[in-house]
């Protein structure tokens, strides 16, 4: 007979279901869900209480002159480290680089910390766990790969040591990821006015400092304008700016994967203006923040004319075109037919939510034809239809007419390809 213990093991190993695939997909949707250590806590607490009692006894025993020093070494915040990605988190440490407290500075920071408790942990463990949590929750990834580390304390030498230490820890963790990170770091002296500025904007002193410096050299934007940006966006801006921030140490470059890229932006512009690479000179491009949109700001000369453009960095839409200082804003939406290269109409329009075709436009069949196609498909006449709505929109990279109407108690919903009248979607629903 087989060994009985092996028999038990074999039976139960076979009994346990293999649901790894399900687990894997669930682990992706339930990232960051924290564990509830119900039973263990009680045991831990007694242990902690024991240690605390012992520590207290020790303090009493050592007593007197040493006591104050010991207190200072152990419980006073000597250095404050802050991590900003979009989550902002402050880590308070004592002189021995043991963590006293980890404080979320904004809502995202709260999510990252979750129920983790770092009291007494080493800085390394804490930074590791926080970074891990940010990666799991998707705050740091291929598209947004920048993190700002700020070390604030009285002692410059300590600040620098801590700065190097953390940067190294972060680099090590990020090395294991499939993407390259960009780490910005700085050391700061305590500054009360900066502190209050930071806390009123739910950010760390470090981020406040960075924003302050970026605003200092320009009157283009204020502190408020930039305070909502993530570190990644700020990093992109400072990286391409004419005067990068000197006080920041940086490693790696900010990822531009969320944006179309400088080359693509240039191509779009050249195509739209019917210009060639050879015709332009004095070309300059940088990231900028305009009225809540991340844009490429582009400048160049061509055929004796000075051009200045803003291009939506994510979509490639041309938001602003200035020629020789004369403002020519983009045309109203819904009529790309009229858009001929080089002559954007000078009408003023509200910026709206429809993103425009960026390349030279396709021809479209027109609203009337679209309406005829939809009605024919529905088997209805003009007169039978109520509440007719037709809108030209961009869907999944192509121009479509979105048509809605009601007839005989039904609601109809169509999507018709704008260039050839192909019916992409037809829905009929009881009203």
Partner 1 sequence: MLYFVSTLQGTYHRDAKLDMLLGRMAQHDTGALEAFYKDTKGAVFAYALSILKNPYEAEDVMQETYLSIYSAAGKYHSTGKPMAWVITITKNHCLQRIREQSRFDPRPWEELDLYLENKETLSVENKEVISYCLKQLKEEEQQILLLHTISGMKHREIAALMGLALPTVLSKYNRALKKLKEKLRDDSVK
Interface with partner 1 (CB under 8 A): 1, 3-20, 22-24, 26-27, 30-40, 116, 125, 128-129, 132-133, 135-136, 173, 176-177
CB of 104 to partner 1, least distance (A): 17
Q: How far is the CB of 382 from partner 1 (least distance, A)?
A: 57
Q: How far is the CB of 256 from partner 1 (least distance, A)?
A: 24
For residues 263, 313, 232, 204, the Cα torsion angle rounded to the nearest 10 degrees is: 150
CB of 79 within 8 A of CB of 159? yes
Residue whose CB is less far from partner 1, 9 or 428? 9
**Measured distance CA(206)–CA(145) in Å, rounded:** 18
Q: What 3-state class would DSSP assign to 160? A: helix
CA distances for 23 relative to 18, 70, 117, 178, angstroms = 9, 48, 26, 22
Minimum Å gap between C-beta 2 and partner 1 is: 9
Smallest separation, CB 180 to partner 1 (Å): 16
Q: For residue 415, give the nearest of 429, 399, 402, 406 by alpha carbon.
A: 402
Q: What are phi and psi of 195, to 5 degrees?
A: -60, -45
Strands (E), 304-409: 305-312, 318-323, 326-329, 386-395, 398-407
d(CA 178, CA 141) in angstroms, rounded, equals: 9
> Would you tell me how many other CB atoms lie within 10 Å of the CB of residue 429?
9
Identify which of residues 166 and 234 has a Cβ nearer to partner 1 in the complex. Answer: 166
Instruction: Report the residue number, 36 or 157, with the smaller CB distance to partner 1.
Output: 36
Q: 104 in helix, strand or coil?
A: strand
Q: Which is nearer to partner 1, 134 or 205 (CB)?
A: 134
Closest CB 47 distance from partner 1, rounded Å: 12
In the complex, minimum distance from the CB of residue 116 to partner 1, in angstroms, rounded to a whole number: 6
Contacts of 130 (CB under 8 A, 6+ apart): 83, 89, 91, 102, 112, 113
Q: DSSP letter string over 323-357?
A: ETTEEEEPPPTT-GGG-BTTB---------SPPPP
Instruction: Kindly tell me which of 16 and 430 has the beta carbon lying closer to partner 1.
Output: 16
Distance of closest approach, residue 88 Cβ to partner 1, in angstroms: 20
Q: By C-beta, is 20 or 61 nearer to partner 1?
A: 20
Nearer to partner 1, 170 or 378 (CB): 170
Beta carbon nearer to partner 1, 7 or 363: 7
Count the Cβ atoms, other than its own, within 10 Å of residue 149: 25
Reduced to 3 states (helix: H, G, I; strand: E, B; else coil), residue 397 is coil
């Amino acid at each position: 007979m087989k060994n009985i213990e092996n028999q038990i093991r074999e039976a139960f190993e076979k009994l346990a279901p293999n649901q790894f695939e399900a687990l894997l997909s669930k682990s992706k949707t339930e990232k960051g869900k924290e564990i509830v250590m119900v039973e263990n806590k009680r045991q831990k607490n007694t242990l902690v209480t024991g240690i605390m009692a012992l520590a207290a006894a020790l303090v009493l025993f050592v007593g007197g002159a040493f006591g104050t020093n010991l207190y200072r070494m152990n419980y006073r915040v000597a250095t404050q480290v802050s991590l900003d990605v979009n989550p902002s988190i402050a880590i308070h440490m004592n002189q021995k680089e043991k963590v006293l407290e980890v404080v979320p500075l904004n809502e995202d920071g709260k999510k990252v910390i979750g129920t983790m408790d770092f009291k007494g942990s080493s800085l390394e463990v804490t930074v590791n766990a926080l970074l891990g949590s940010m990666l799991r929750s998707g705050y740091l990834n291929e598209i947004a790969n920048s993190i700002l580390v700020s070390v604030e304390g009285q002692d410059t030498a300590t600040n620098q040591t801590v700065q190097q230490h953390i940067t190294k820890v972060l680099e090590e963790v990020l090395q294991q990821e499939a993407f390259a990170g960009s780490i910005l770091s700085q050391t700061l002296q305590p500054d009360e006015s900066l502190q209050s500025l930071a806390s009123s904007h739910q950010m760390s002193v470090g981020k406040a400092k960075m924003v302050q410096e970026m605003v200092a050299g320009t009157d283009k934007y204020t502190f408020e304008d930039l305070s909502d940006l993530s570190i990644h966006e700020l990093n992109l801006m400072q990286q391409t700016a004419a005067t990068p921030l000197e006080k920041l140490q940086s490693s790696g470059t900010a990822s531009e994967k969320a944006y179309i890229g400088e080359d693509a932006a240039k191509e779009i512009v050249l195509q739209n203006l019917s210009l060639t690479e050879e015709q332009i000179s004095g070309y300059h491009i940088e990231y900028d923040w305009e009225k809540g949109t991340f844009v490429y700001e582009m400048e160049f000369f061509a055929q004796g004319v000075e051009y200045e453009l803003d291009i939506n960095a994510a979509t490639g839409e041309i938001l602003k075109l200035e020629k020789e200082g004369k403002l020519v804003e983009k045309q109203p939406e819904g009529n790309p037919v009229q858009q001929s290269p080089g002559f954007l109409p000078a009408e003023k329009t509200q910026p709206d939510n429809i993103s425009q075709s960026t390349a030279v436009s396709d021809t479209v069949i027109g609203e009337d034809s679209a309406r005829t196609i939809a009605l024919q498909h529905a088997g209805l006449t003009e007169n039978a239809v109520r509440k007719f709505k037709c809108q030209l929109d961009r869907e999944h990279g192509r121009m479509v007419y979105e048509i809605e109407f009601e007839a005989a108690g039904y609601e109809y919903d169509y999507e018709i390809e704008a260039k050839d009248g192909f019916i992409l979607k037809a829905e009929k629903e009881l009203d």
